[in-house]
Structures are given as C-alpha cells and as structure tokens.
A and B are shown apart, each in its own frame.
Chain A
C-alpha cells in the first residue's frame, strides 16, 4: 500500500468519525455544556439548508437578570433547545429557539421539529418581533391558564417560550392542531 493511499484512508476514517460524532442524538450530550448539543443528522441538514446563519440561543445571549432566572429553574438546561413528544405520536419532538446574530439587531425565531420516524417536519412557529431574547423549555403540565383567565388543555405537554419580564406562551397540540396560550402579555 502506498503512503498516499494510506493517507487517504486515514483521512477518510477521521472524516467519518467527525460526521458520526457531530450527528449523534441529543441524549448523548449529557457530559457537555447545556447548549453543546448534537442534533440528528437529518434534522441538522434540514435546519442548515433552511435557516442559514442561525444558531441556538445560549445563556450568553441573555442579560444578567435573565441568566439568573434561567439558572434558577433549569440549572442544566439550554434556553435554545427542548424535547418533548408534543403531538403524542410516540416520537420525541424538538423545539429550537434560534438566533441570527446581526450588527443591527439579532433575529430570534422559534422552530418546531416534529419527528415521524426518520423524517423531520420543520414548522417555523414565530417570526422575529424584537423584545427580550426568548428562552425555551419543555413543560409537562397539561392545563394552562392564559393571562385573561381562560384555560386550555395540552394532553401531551407544551413547549414554553418566554421573554423574561414581559411575555410567555405555551405551545401544544389539541387534537391534531398546534395551538398556543398566552400566559403573560
């Protein structure tokens, strides 16, 4: 075997290892920092193709007060990503709180990645409207009460998106329809 072929094989092995490490599932990320997650390959490819330049919101994107609030409730959580089987189909769905850094004003959007087997359906749930940088978590409560006192039941739990000191919303499925409750406004 020539040295050139040997070099090519070594590079190929290294390359494949990186791909595998980069595209494992979320549960493999326990030992790393909260926002150092590895998305499934198919989801990552879909995200990169559709949301160019976006990245997960991290603790560094929050101001000091907001970081304190987050750490109080989710010491090991990342405000940019959460998991729950939102539609109740037996597959864990992923909520992605994404940020597009900009010199003028960062763009902050919430994208829902609904899983059906190996397939991911991406739904952009919110558009950027400024205001406090949002944080995201999965919530297993079933009943949610709006700021107007009306209640709604999400049988499979919800993703909660919140702009600290201002607004918060819970997103969940009622039958097969995605709905939200404005918790604070």
Chain B
C-alpha cells in the first residue's frame, strides 16, 4: 500500500505518480504522457515546486494589478499564483475563479455562467457559496445561484450587473450595503441563472454602454 502525502502547494514527497495516484489539487491531475512539467488544470499547467502556474491567468493583468497593490513584482507573481497563494483555505478547480473553503463546486450551467461573468468583468472573484448554506430561495438549492465576492472593492456593481445581464443572468442582488451592516458582512453579490417567479428585485442591468469587443464598461 502506498503511503504518502503532499506539501501545502501540492508537491509530492512520496512518489505518488508511480503508485498510480494522479489527482492533485481539485481540478488538477498529472500524467507523464501529457505534461509541461506540471499538473494539468484545464486552462493552465501548475508547478507544485514553485506553487505557481506556468502561464499567466487568462483573465490578464487586471486581476494581478488589483492584488499587487501597485507593486509590479507583486502583480507579476500573482498572475502565476494559485488559489490566492493560500491552497489550504481556497480551491481553484479550473485556474480561474476561486471557491471559498466550504463552497460546493458550481453546477455545469452555473460554472459556464461564472466563467462568462469573470471574463466580462475582467477581474477574478471568489465564490462564497453555491448550493450550500442556509439559503431561502430555490435557486441556490437547485445549483443555479452563487454568492460572489470580487477580489477588489473597486469593481463597480454596475459593471458586475451589466456583465451578468450580458451572460444571461436571470437575477442579481447587491448584498454589499444592506442597512444594518452586521447582517451583510462579507460584501457580496447574489447572481442566478434562472428566475422562478422571484423577479421582484433585480439589479441586473442591460448593457447600454459597450467597450471594445462589446464588453460592459
């Protein structure tokens, strides 16, 4: 029987591959025939030794600039980083948006929507919750809604909701600044891909002003 383990950023210290253990972090796998010297993660290859990807985040420099805090070195390293550089707490199944530590993976339709949303916004975000947690609406339990938290407070809600509409969201709610801040700590947006008779409040905005390539500004 193979006995071994992995370091916090995924390095294998007990020859797992030869024992037939190919899975790595969520969304990653290793295969000697199909490799760039790292673990395959759909969009990018991950190198456990450095805790970084071999290619930049496909969402581009914008996200890295937000994280780097104006420090160019920080921007570059974050472009290649994995799961907020904190793999013990966060997951990064596809090399793009991150799942919160206790969030269920998104359903196929929701995942497609979230990728579209992230691409349109141009900033990555954390998904705090999908079908898990004490939600009231049927959308969460059906796996058709997510609570997302942009990684920068500088992302205007108008842009998020414009993008959500462009990605065919059914409904959006801004749950950042609800009166009585204690109730809504952890600023976030609720987005969902269906509207089963619950469109009473909907912050999704049709895109009126389009930037280059037809994107929301």
Whether B149 contacts A131 by the Cβ 8 Å rule is: no
Whether A165 contacts B89 by the Cβ 8 Å rule is: no
Given contacts A132-B129, A166-B188, A167-B129, A161 and B182 within 8 Å (CB-CB): no
- Assess whether A130 is interfacial by the CB under 8 Å rule: yes
Chain A 83-117 per-residue mask, 1 if CB under 8 angstroms from chain B, else 0: 00000000000000000000001000000000000
A69 to B186, CA, bound (A): 8
Given contacts A160-B182, A160-B183, A164-B186, A182 and B132 within 8 Å (CB-CB): no
Chain A 42-85 per-residue mask, 1 if CB under 8 angstroms from chain B, else 0: 00000000000000000000010110010011000000000000
Chain A 143-185 per-residue mask, 1 if CB under 8 angstroms from chain B, else 0: 0010111000000000011111111111000000000001111
- Residues of B near A105 (CB, < 8 A) are 102
- Assess whether B118 is interfacial by the CB under 8 Å rule: no
Whether B135 contacts A130 by the Cβ 8 Å rule is: no
- Residues of A near B183 (CB, < 8 A) are 160, 162, 168, 170, 183-184
Return the contact of A167 from the options B100, B133, B149 (Cβ within 8 A). B133
- Residues of A near B179 (CB, < 8 A) are 145
Task: Identify the closest chain A residue to B178 (Cβ).
Answer: A184
Whether A163 contacts B173 by the Cβ 8 Å rule is: no
- Assess whether B101 is interfacial by the CB under 8 Å rule: yes
Whether A66 contacts B186 by the Cβ 8 Å rule is: yes
Task: Identify the closest chain A residue to B145 (Cβ).
Answer: A185
Task: Identify the closest chain B residue to A73 (Cβ).
Answer: B182
- Residues of A near B175 (CB, < 8 A) are 147, 184-185
A160 to B182, CA, bound (A): 10
Given contacts A131-B129, A185-B135, A168 and B184 within 8 Å (CB-CB): yes
Whether B104 contacts A130 by the Cβ 8 Å rule is: yes
A120 to chain B, nearest CB (A): 24
A44 to B129, CA, bound (A): 33
- Assess whether B137 is interfacial by the CB under 8 Å rule: yes
A109 to chain B, nearest CB (A): 10
- Assess whether B140 is interfacial by the CB under 8 Å rule: yes
A162 to B136, CA, bound (A): 13
- Residues of B near A149 (CB, < 8 A) are 200-201
- Assess whether A39 is interfacial by the CB under 8 Å rule: no
- Assess whether A134 is interfacial by the CB under 8 Å rule: yes
- Residues of B near A165 (CB, < 8 A) are 100, 128-129, 147, 149, 185-188
- Which of A72, A105, A160, A168 counts the most B-chain CB atoms under 10 A from its CB? A168
Given contacts A166-B129, A166-B147, A131 and B134 within 8 Å (CB-CB): yes
Whether B185 contacts A73 by the Cβ 8 Å rule is: yes
For the complex with contacts A131-B134, A147-B175, A164-B185, 11 further pairs of A-B residues with Cβ separation under 8 Å are A130-B132, A164-B128, A165-B128, A165-B187, A165-B188, A166-B135, A166-B186, A168-B183, A182-B135, A184-B175, A184-B183
7 closest Cβ pairs, A-B complex: A131-B133, A165-B186, A130-B132, A164-B186, A131-B132, A182-B136, A69-B185
Taking Cβ atoms with an 8 Å cutoff, the residues of A that contact B are 63, 65-66, 69, 72-73, 105, 126, 129-134, 137, 139, 141, 145, 147-149, 160-170, 182-185
Taking Cβ atoms with an 8 Å cutoff, the residues of B that contact A are 89, 100-104, 128-129, 132-137, 140, 147, 149, 173, 175, 178-180, 182-188, 190, 198, 200-201
